[in-house]
Amino acid sequence: MTSSPSLYRETHAAEAFKRGVEAQLKGDLALAVKEWRYALACMPRHLPALYNVAVAEAMQGETEAAAGHYQDLLAIDPDHKDALFNLANLKKRQGQDDAARLLFKRLVETHPSFASGFVNFAKLCSDQGEIEEAETLLLRAIEIDPTHVIAHWNFAHLLLRSGRWKEGWRCYEWRLKIPGWMKPPCPAPAWSPSAQKGRVLLWNDQGRGDAIQFLRYPRLLAAQGWEVYLLLQEELCGLAASAPGVSRVFSPREALPEVEAQAPLLSLPYRLGLEGPQDGGRVPYLASNRMEIPRRKALTVGVVWAGNRTFSNDASRSLPLSALAPLFDREEIDWISLQYGADAKQIEENNLSRKIVDLSPRLRTFSDTAAAVAAVDLVICVDTAVAHVAGALGQPCWVMLPSRPDWRFAEDEKARLWYPSLRFFRQTQAHNGLDVVERLDAALREYLTNRER
């Protein structure tokens, strides 16, 4: 008696799928994918194999292949929750927002109890400026799962961008529950208004720009009688020492003193019961010496075109230096590069060394960057920590923003509450900085004309 061909194929597909799972558990993803693809060759409608291959391809950057396999799966099972979710997220990452929207809509309609579907759908709406729709979706996610950390965290961003400060600061605390988030660096109790006065350690749990933005707040604790210590990234320590109310700044390489209390620096607005940025006191709130730089022409402008390349959304904010080339033809301007890191090499790569002075060898810390910012008449930069340095020093700065900026700079009026000296130039289309450069060129022309009067 012989087996039927279909049974033979099903058996081989099942065995291959099992071998793939075993290879995956051993960390051999390449072998796992090979086995799952063999399972699909035996049985093209093997849904678990289709799904696993799609996930693996997406992890390996093979986005088109992954999208194809997700679509094959959904042709067989149109309501497959994880395939709808993953494909919608994939389409969003590819910039195909209309396709992503349709998939998210299908997902939340067919799986109305899947909180993460509402969360990611809300992110898409928020990025497209549909704030009310995003808020509705996030509140639905929180109703489904009141413990959904990312739903609360994203809701905080919506609240803060719209100026609902107190509620926003409260929700902002949910970040501390995100798996893998930085934990308190010392065993001291959390600071509270009722704590006995003494020494308090404020530690930065986010990026360098975030820390600079919130260095306006330690003086409020100092005014209550606290001796304020900071724990920050090493390159921030020198500049942070100029913040009012700060007694001492520590880097991660230094031993920490015993303190009576500790708190995340970015939690101070919530824990102090503050409203908006104006409660942090006057701007400027940092100080710096001035670096000696060449000044031969009517205007000296510092420029930064790229941020930290490891930032998840860097592609939407950083520009190639060549995109700014039309600006460098203005003979009335001394251009000074405040760009640090590997991107500074673009000056030489674009044959612009005669037009731009490269300060990167002198920019070792943010104290150096602040000294350079203080020495120029104007800074033009993308949305990176240098914008925060300029804002905290009260220096004029024009910030090139992506079409979907962070909550801090989402609206000009609220953004200037943080930094009155900043002016914003937003992309009208995602990943298209051409019109921004044109508007910058016109603004520079006007700026020069007004200075000559």
Determine contact, residues 216/280, Cβ cutoff 8 Å. Answer: yes
Architecture of domain 1-111: Alpha Horseshoe (1.25)
Q: Give residue 276's pLDDT band: very low, low, confident or very high (50, 70, 90).
A: confident
Q: 3-state class of 333 per DSSP? A: strand
**DSSP string covering 246-282:** EEEEE-TTSPPPP-SEEEEGGGHHHHTT--SGGGG--
Q: Name the least confident of 80-89, 149-158, 294-303.
A: 294-303
Architecture of domain 119-180: Alpha Horseshoe (1.25)
Determine contact, residues 88/107, Cβ cutoff 8 Å. Answer: yes
Instruction: Say yes or no to pLDDT of 314 above 90.
Output: no
Q: How far is 301 from 334, CA to CA, in rounded Å?
A: 6
Instruction: Say yes or no to pLDDT of 2 above 60.
Output: no
**Which amino acid, residue 321?**
L
Please name the residues in contact with 180: beta carbons below 8 A apart, sequence gap of 6 or more.
none
**DSSP string covering 298-309:** SEEEEEE----T
Residues in the chain: 453
Token readout for 102 is 């349709």
Provide the sign of the torsion angle of the four alpha carbons 154, 157, 158, 164, taken in this order.
positive
Give the tens place of pLDDT for each residue, 179-221: 999 999 999 999 999 888 999 999 999 999 999 999 999 999 9
Give the tens place of pLDDT for each residue, 393-429: 999 999 999 888 889 998 888 899 999 999 999 988 7
Instruction: Tell me which H or E stretch contains 336.
Output: strand 333-337
The distance between the two most distant Cα atoms of the chain, rounded to a whole number of Å, is 101
Q: Which of 328, 321, 338 is nearest to 372 (CA)?
A: 338
Token readout for 322 is 């060549």
Token readout for 52 is 């696993």
The pLDDT score that the predictor gives to residue 231 is 98
* Angle at the Cα of 244 from the Cα atoms of 393 and 212, rounded to 5 degrees: 50
Mean pLDDT to the nearest integer, 87-95: 94
Token readout for 55 is 């996930």
Q: Give residue 315's pLDDT band: very low, low, confident or very high (50, 70, 90).
A: confident
**CATH topology of 1-111 equal to that of 299-452?**
no
Please name the residues in contact with 296: beta carbons below 8 A apart, sequence gap of 6 or more.
334
Q: 3-state class of 61 per DSSP? A: coil
pLDDT > 70 in the chain, percent:
96
Q: Is the pTM of this model over 0.95?
A: no
Q: How far is 377 from 28, CA to CA, in rounded Å?
A: 56
The pLDDT score that the predictor gives to residue 142 is 98
Q: Which residue has the tokens 């799609």?
A: 54
Q: Which residue has the tokens 């909180």?
A: 115
Domain ranges in the chain are 1-111, 119-180, 199-280, 299-452
Architecture of domain 199-280: 3-Layer(aba) Sandwich (3.40)
**Which amino acid, residue 377?**
D
Mean pLDDT to the nearest integer, 283-295: 95
The pLDDT score that the predictor gives to residue 431 is 65
The pLDDT score that the predictor gives to residue 418 is 96
Determine contact, residues 147/116, Cβ cutoff 8 Å. Answer: no
Instruction: Say yes or no to pLDDT of 257 above 60.
Output: yes
pLDDT > 90 in the chain, percent:
85
Mean pLDDT to the nearest integer, 32-48: 92
The fold of 299-452 is Rossmann fold (3.40.50)
- In this structure, the number of other CB atoms found within 10 A of the CB of residue 47 comes to 14
Q: How far is 192 from 272, CA to CA, in rounded Å?
A: 8
Instruction: Tell me which H or E stretch contains 401.
Output: strand 397-401
**Which amino acid, residue 296?**
R
Rg for the chain (alpha carbons), in Å? 26
What does residue 19 show for φ and ψ, rounded to 5 degrees? -65, -35
Q: How far is 382 from 388, CA to CA, in rounded Å?
A: 11
The pLDDT score that the predictor gives to residue 35 is 93
Mean pLDDT to the nearest integer, 288-294: 94
